[in-house]
Structure 1
Amino acid sequence: MREVLEVDARKEYGSNLLIAPIGAIEKADASFRVIHDGTHKVQVNPRIRARDQHKCPGTGELKTVMRSSMKACKSVFGLTGDVKRAHRLPRVWQAEWGLQACKLSGDTVWLNEVGTFGMGPAAYHWARESGGMGRACLYLMQNRWFYQLLYADDFNWISSGAFAVDDIVLAIFFLCILGVPMSWKKFHGGLQYEWVGYWSDLRHRRLGISEGRADWLVRWMSKALVAGSVCIEEFKSVLGRMGFAMRALETFRPFLGPLYAWSSAVPVRTFLPLPVMIRLILIYLKGRLKEGSRTAPCGCSQGLTKEHFRADAKAEGEDVRIGGWECLDSDDVGTARWFSETITRANAPWVFEAGEPFRTIATLELLATLCCLVAFPRDSSIARPEEPRALLTLGGSTDNLGNKFVVSKLQTTKYPLVCVLMEIAALMHQAGESLDLQWVPRLQNIEADQLTNGDFRGFDPANRVRVDISKHRWVVLNSMLQQGRALYSVIREGRIESSKRKLDKFAGPTFKNQKSFRERDPWQ
């Protein structure tokens, strides 16, 4: 920072001399982080238009690295590090120093010659500066198995082989030569460590959240279930933490759909009882986390997924059918296992609740996929015992393009589609597998379409598998369908929206000096 007289600064910068207020944020170690407020008074940040964006690595990139490590070598080592005061490294053009001015007292002002915390360009230019240094570091490694992930100013180096530690040390040494200041006290690593909130287990190729964060979620859900009601403002904050955790724990992600739908339909400043469906979801998530499912296997890279089955559904008036056949070993339908079931008001009344069954055709298509998973279970002996679970991904095909994206994201808020998706996720979690659902044109899905029309020509009756939807012991499907009907009917009818408007009208003022939920109960 440069100290100059305010009179001289105004002569040089004129109207571009914007003196912003300065704040201080208390950190966990009782120190303070000085923040330059370039948003509210001086309005510098709102006027900035970024020419492009930058993307930081997350769980997807970490899983890709772990899957790749299975081919490279069984021994993998990781280390994380932090850049000290990274936002102060990019230098600012001298003509723009006045846009980052601040003042304590007297006739002098302080001009920031580099990026500062609280100004948008600091992160923008640091991302490009660090990107160049990161590429140079990777060029130095040449063909070594070496990965370098950078989230803001947090590095994650992962290397494999006999020289894994040497490669990481060389990368850090090279960055230090380039002038990157490191915060050495924040370095940690090994075979199991935490990086930007996610827990990495390189030995077993698993990714998830730390034990402390999982225990915090279990305690909060237990407290909410015992109380029977929650503060919606706090519930939204916890839902954000759950969303962060479920980016790694993908098989739990569908269970957040009803939570998002309910939280968005109720007023914030209220204390409401938990609907039954929300309670069931919290009980399920609490049980899975309590049993130790805070990490999930990453699987391995095997190229294109083999197609295991094809499914289809039909809804024309009261004629509703689902069908599917197994195509893993052969394309010959005469030797394949297959199923075809008729949906009636007796075995699946929820299909007819929306009126015409064709309104739930996407759910029926996904139900056919679910029945394929039940009718054609994968042989557990395929996976090799010395390798982690979930090495194989089940491949399926459907002619509903929307379901491809629903299964890929494992998230939806639509009822009853979300209930079927939750059942698929629960089955995948129990088996330690994943599902890769692909789309095929209807003309290439003739065999499954034939089954939905009741045409069994070419299929061997001895290979038929019966799936009784009403009597099968589903994991969560029946309870979610029963209780979801009540929750989503209230949301659709607008009763909660009406309550929201009334309560917001008479709600008291908010207290800005009250600490946020993040400050009251940190997630560590």
Structure 2
Amino acid sequence: LRVLYIFAGRPRKCDLHTSLLALSMKVGFTLTMKEVDLLRAAGDDVQDENSYWESLMKSVDQREWDVVIATPPCHTHSRARNSWQTSPGPRPLRSLDHPWGFPWLSGKNLRQCEVANICIERTFDAIARAHQAGAFHLVEHPEDLGTTLSGESPASLWQAPQLMDLQALTGACTWALYQCSLGAPSPRPTRLFSDLPAAKLEPFQGWPVFNKNRKYLGPLPTACGHVHDYKLLGRLADGFFRTSPTAAYLAEMCEWLAQLIVRSFFEGALEGGGKTTNAARPRKSSLKPAADQASRASSVARHTPEVQFAEATVPAPGNLSEAVDSEAEDQEVDKMSFSNQGPPITTFWDGKAAPFNDGFGLCSPGRMVMALALGKVKEQPFSGEKLESLRSQWCALLPDPAQAASVPEFQPFLLFALGQSLCKMGDPDWQVIADSPDSYASGVPVGVGIKMPRAKFVFRKKVKWRKYDDSEAIFDMKNYSSAHAVEDDLEKQFRSEELLGMMYPTSMAVARQDYPGSRLRVAAQGALRKPDGSYRALHDGTHGVRVNNEILMRDQLEFPGPREDAAAMEAARRVIPGVHFCLAADVRKAHRRVLRRKADWGLMACRSHEGSETIWVKRVGTFGIGSIAYWWGRLAAAAGRFVLRLCLNSFVFMSIFADDLKVVAGGADKWKVLLRVFMAWIMIGAPFAWEKFRGGLELDWIGYWLDYTRFELGVSERRTLWLCKWLEGAGGGQVVQMRRFAEGLGRLGFAARALVWLKPFLAPLYAWAAAVPEGTALKPPLLVQLTVAFLLDNLQNENRGRISCATPEVSKGELFRTDSKGADDCVVLGGWETNGAVDTMNARWFSLTLTREQVPFLFKEGKGSSWSSTSSELLASMVALQLFGPDPGRGARAAGEITCSAGTDNQANESL
């Protein structure tokens, strides 16, 4: 192993060289290491570009080193300098606005900054040349913690755009840590930057994140969790500043860095003191991705030294399924991270900011490909033997492997394994899976006669409830006419579900004995023909049996929609440029995969044949029972969070809407990420409808069209064609059936969730529909006809049927000032641009004279145009908005605030 260490500092008894040498003897490899620093030798002057530095880089170019380490001096970047006003010490030499040094520096301070700048430039040069030569690199420097308590913004190495470019070039990762977890007497938040394979498994990955005021949000937690007496401000007894000793690594830090390097080169090197031979060194050009490094990665994970971080400051949740009514407690839920780092994504859609919702709960971490995308996989593609082997390895990692490997009766999911895994991951809702009286493993309640649970860490509190029809209680209902003609088909379907354990037949007498009184309710069945010719049984849990009327849900189900898709696209475009691929899948009979508790089975009884004494009793959830959407959503959310956490730091967005799953991945490893996601779902036991897999660079998902090449979304082609056909039938002065009109209006409302420009034009349509009886047929009024024609014209325009997902430009400053002048024969509109506090001598301006012939609506006989000052001033503002407003480009979104506040002779425009 050949290591070049630049800016190594003074020789010490326990330094990185010592730690690597100790590992070389333990593991069995030969170490060659060169340490460079002026503090070691007068000749190690990296400032001399023409001689020493170039000779050093020549050795890198000639592939003499496997790893290049650079730890440039950080004394000119120290945050402690920003406390000079309250604690004696050196003053700051640079800031966020002046990262290379204040322009007024002179003398000693200027020289310090110049030397440090050269070291930083040498670091960038070393990284680039190491990568070109096939060597790995490692850089360390203090973390960028954003603004100080006094409001100052210190400079940081990590603010340099060159590092972003180098990351894109080398594929490096960056992560942070508290050095006190490695023996330091103070927290010493530190950031590292490396392309070593083992580095990708370190916690707290990602660049620093800040809020709008540049307050640090992560990835490091707010506090290290330790109590430290050592202070970094002031001087020591010997007169040196307290920050001086922190320039050198402690022994534990050196040992940790050494192990990070060795684990990247020698597979199994640290296992139980075992030896390894001097195998061929893994140059980056020869390193193979995930498949060949799986065993190495697992070895790295097993032998990473344990870093002791603070215990969670959130109290142990106990049984988090218990009902909690306190509004104050509900309001605190969003602040709890449960192993997630940073704040949740915020969407900006339809002029409103809202939290991102992927369907996996408030605590969600958040976030064979071609064959699947083309729908060519018709059955589970992974062999049973390999799948069982994977599940066995999974269960072996859990506290109770035997229980984890068992599958509860009547269910496909490995619920015990999922529950134990979520518990180890710190998930707040793990107990409901298999460790509570009414768990998914034992059966969840329908909700009749009990108070439904409150999962406050997964769902927001429900505050509105649907009102069900208040029908007479009849606990033995007759089937609907749609089911009478297909009774044999219904029974055939029931028989097939009996084989799956979803329901069972019994006699009415036995059913009444098993479920006495109101615990037995035989619901009416309807039948809906499916495209393949089979029939879907429709269970009416409301009329007569009144099951739904007696269920009171306390959690609000939320599903992802256009705003979440737009936010995901914007993140994909900004964070991981390049090609993004998406896959969509359906969970087969998803709502039928949730076991109900045995005491409630009688509440979901039905018949296939009218008048038959044979009763079919359902063991699992069914459409028509209101609580099943909640119970399936909660289970899917838990499974989704488990899968997302397995993805570690891969770029992936995963969303679920009922039983429709969508996964988007980007970056060089996107194909493996997609396979990992679906392999994890299969490992859990998710029964996919393989023939319904679809995907690509564009995707039709839940009725919306998502384009990951242009980062646009709209309504799917099929829905758009339906709407255009409906609009054609509703326009042109034709007689319209109000039932049909109401159906189309509902679909327009769905489309308006994506095409938000539709919303203002729906008002006259809703107003007319509300005023006309449902069963009538009549000709729409003129305003409705004009609106319908306008909507049809725009929906047929491709540019209007798609909306950009780019974050809208928001201007919070003043854009322009305008005024108007009314005369007898003309109107003069004028204004100038003020955006960015432009001086009036240099500002753009306009003056527009309009005649009576051009704007007759602004004139009156005998009054000229002076009477229309309100309208003309507003017209001037509209002209200025076109001239000086944001230029969002094709299909982009924009938002602006326009304040008409001065220069008017009335207050009409101010009230608009």
Q: TM-score, normalised by structure 2?
A: 0.38
Counterparts in 2 of 1:370 and 1:152: CA distance versus 1, 3 Å:
farther
**198-207 or 289-298: bigger deviation:** 289-298
1:58 pairs with one of 561, 565, 581: 561
Alignment of 1:295-374 (within 5 A): 295-301=801-807, 305=811, 307=813, 309=815, 326-330=833-837, 347=857, 370-374=878-882
- Counterpart-to-counterpart distance in 2, 1:436 and 1:160: 29
2:749 pairs with one of 222, 226, 243: 243
- Counterpart-to-counterpart distance in 2, 1:265 and 1:366: 33
- Counterpart-to-counterpart distance in 1, 2:847 and 2:771: 39
Residue in 2 that maps onto 1:34: 537
AA partner of residue 374 (structure 1): Q
Residue in 2 that maps onto 1:413: none
Cα displacement string for residues 142-184 of structure 1 (whole angstroms, at most 9, x for unaligned residues): 1111011101000111111122122111111111111110001
Cα displacement string for residues 439-471 of structure 1 (whole angstroms, at most 9, x for unaligned residues): 9xxxxx6xx42223599xxxxxxxxxxxxx9xx
1:220, distance to aligned residue in structure 2 (A)? 3.1
Counterparts in 2 of 1:434 and 1:281: CA distance versus 1, 3 Å:
same
- Counterpart-to-counterpart distance in 1, 2:562 and 2:701: 10
State whether residues 211 and 294 of structure 1, in contact with CA within 8 Å, keep that contact through their aligned partners in structure 2: no
2:718 pairs with one of 205, 212, 235: 212
1:340, distance to aligned residue in structure 2 (A)? 11
Counterparts in 2 of 1:262 and 1:309: CA distance versus 1, 3 Å:
farther
Matched, 1:48 2:500: no
State whether residues 858 and 872 of structure 2, in contact with CA within 8 Å, keep that contact through their aligned partners in structure 1: no
Residue in 1 that maps onto 2:903: 451
Q: Secondary structure at the match of 1:213?
A: helix
Counterparts in 2 of 1:252 and 1:103: CA distance versus 1, 3 Å:
closer
2:585 pairs with one of 78, 81, 85: 81
Counterparts in 2 of 1:434 and 1:42: CA distance versus 1, 3 Å:
same
Cα displacement string for residues 386-405 of structure 1 (whole angstroms, at most 9, x for unaligned residues): xxxx46xxxxxxxxxxxxxx
RMSD over aligned Cα, in angstroms? 3.7
Cα displacement string for residues 190-225 of structure 1 (whole angstroms, at most 9, x for unaligned residues): 012210111111111111123333233333333443
1:335, distance to aligned residue in structure 2 (A)? 5.7
Cα displacement string for residues 409-467 of structure 1 (whole angstroms, at most 9, x for unaligned residues): xxxxxxxxxxxxxxxxxxxxxx634332459xxxxx6xx42223599xxxxxxxxxxxx
Counterparts in 2 of 1:36 and 1:224: CA distance versus 1, 3 Å:
closer
State whether residues 306 and 328 of structure 1, in contact with CA within 8 Å, keep that contact through their aligned partners in structure 2: no
- Counterpart-to-counterpart distance in 2, 1:118 and 1:256: 31
1:115, distance to aligned residue in structure 2 (A)? 0.6
AA partner of residue 286 (structure 1): L
State whether residues 813 and 835 of structure 2, in contact with CA within 8 Å, keep that contact through their aligned partners in structure 1: yes
Matched, 1:18 2:470: no
Residue in 1 that maps onto 2:894: 435
- Counterpart-to-counterpart distance in 2, 1:452 and 1:144: 56
1:85, distance to aligned residue in structure 2 (A)? 0.3
Matched, 1:67 2:570: yes
Residue in 2 that maps onto 1:133: 639
Structure with higher RCO (Cα < 8 A, 6+ apart): 1
- Counterpart-to-counterpart distance in 1, 2:707 and 2:832: 37
1:21, distance to aligned residue in structure 2 (A)? 2.2
State whether residues 340 and 451 of structure 1, in contact with CA within 8 Å, keep that contact through their aligned partners in structure 2: no
Structure 2 portions without partners, runs of 5+: 1-502, 820-828, 849-854, 860-866
- Counterpart-to-counterpart distance in 1, 2:872 and 2:760: 17
Counterparts in 2 of 1:61 and 1:39: CA distance versus 1, 3 Å:
same
- Counterpart-to-counterpart distance in 2, 1:41 and 1:101: 13
Q: Secondary structure at the match of 2:685?
A: coil
Counterparts in 2 of 1:452 and 1:96: CA distance versus 1, 3 Å:
same
Counterparts in 2 of 1:366 and 1:260: CA distance versus 1, 3 Å:
farther
**82-91 or 276-285: bigger deviation:** 276-285
Residue in 2 that maps onto 1:9: 511
- Counterpart-to-counterpart distance in 1, 2:873 and 2:648: 48
- Counterpart-to-counterpart distance in 2, 1:185 and 1:365: 61
Q: TM-score, normalised by structure 1?
A: 0.64
- Counterpart-to-counterpart distance in 1, 2:542 and 2:634: 23
State whether residues 209 and 245 of structure 1, in contact with CA within 8 Å, keep that contact through their aligned partners in structure 2: yes
Residue in 2 that maps onto 1:490: none
Q: Secondary structure at the match of 1:69?
A: helix
AA partner of residue 756 (structure 2): E
Identity %: 35
State whether residues 87 and 126 of structure 1, in contact with CA within 8 Å, keep that contact through their aligned partners in structure 2: yes
- Counterpart-to-counterpart distance in 2, 1:167 and 1:281: 46
- Counterpart-to-counterpart distance in 1, 2:504 and 2:637: 28
State whether residues 228 and 273 of structure 1, in contact with CA within 8 Å, keep that contact through their aligned partners in structure 2: yes
Residue in 1 that maps onto 2:684: 178
Cα displacement string for residues 121-141 of structure 1 (whole angstroms, at most 9, x for unaligned residues): 211100000000001111011
1:40, distance to aligned residue in structure 2 (A)? 0.6
State whether residues 729 and 736 of structure 2, in contact with CA within 8 Å, keep that contact through their aligned partners in structure 1: no
- Counterpart-to-counterpart distance in 2, 1:159 and 1:281: 40
Q: Secondary structure at the match of 1:281?
A: helix
Q: Secondary structure at the match of 1:36?
A: strand
- Counterpart-to-counterpart distance in 2, 1:41 and 1:165: 51
**292-301 or 25-34: bigger deviation:** 292-301
Counterparts in 2 of 1:217 and 1:109: CA distance versus 1, 3 Å:
closer
**254-263 or 186-195: bigger deviation:** 254-263
1:377, distance to aligned residue in structure 2 (A)? 4.5
Residue in 2 that maps onto 1:399: none
- Counterpart-to-counterpart distance in 1, 2:760 and 2:877: 16
2:620 pairs with one of 90, 111, 114: 114
State whether residues 697 and 708 of structure 2, in contact with CA within 8 Å, keep that contact through their aligned partners in structure 1: yes
- Counterpart-to-counterpart distance in 2, 1:180 and 1:113: 19
Matched, 1:95 2:580: no
Counterparts in 2 of 1:95 and 1:145: CA distance versus 1, 3 Å:
same
1:289, distance to aligned residue in structure 2 (A)? 2.5
Alignment of 1:155-234 (within 5 A): 155-234=661-740
State whether residues 312 and 452 of structure 1, in contact with CA within 8 Å, keep that contact through their aligned partners in structure 2: no
- Counterpart-to-counterpart distance in 2, 1:2 and 1:130: 26
State whether residues 209 and 294 of structure 1, in contact with CA within 8 Å, keep that contact through their aligned partners in structure 2: no
- Counterpart-to-counterpart distance in 1, 2:818 and 2:772: 37
Residue in 2 that maps onto 1:153: 659
- Counterpart-to-counterpart distance in 1, 2:533 and 2:779: 38
State whether residues 807 and 893 of structure 2, in contact with CA within 8 Å, keep that contact through their aligned partners in structure 1: no
1:254, distance to aligned residue in structure 2 (A)? 2.0
Matched, 1:376 2:835: no
1:102, distance to aligned residue in structure 2 (A)? 2.1
- Counterpart-to-counterpart distance in 2, 1:200 and 1:274: 34
Residue in 2 that maps onto 1:514: none
1:265, distance to aligned residue in structure 2 (A)? 1.9
Matched, 1:285 2:791: yes
Q: Secondary structure at the match of 2:636?
A: helix
- Counterpart-to-counterpart distance in 2, 1:304 and 1:92: 50
Cα displacement string for residues 242-287 of structure 1 (whole angstroms, at most 9, x for unaligned residues): 2222222222332222222222222222222232222222222222
- Counterpart-to-counterpart distance in 2, 1:44 and 1:340: 70
- Counterpart-to-counterpart distance in 1, 2:508 and 2:728: 58
Counterparts in 2 of 1:132 and 1:9: CA distance versus 1, 3 Å:
same
- Counterpart-to-counterpart distance in 1, 2:545 and 2:818: 59
Residue in 1 that maps onto 2:79: none
More helix by percentage: 1
- Counterpart-to-counterpart distance in 2, 1:369 and 1:184: 56
Q: How many residues align?
A: 383
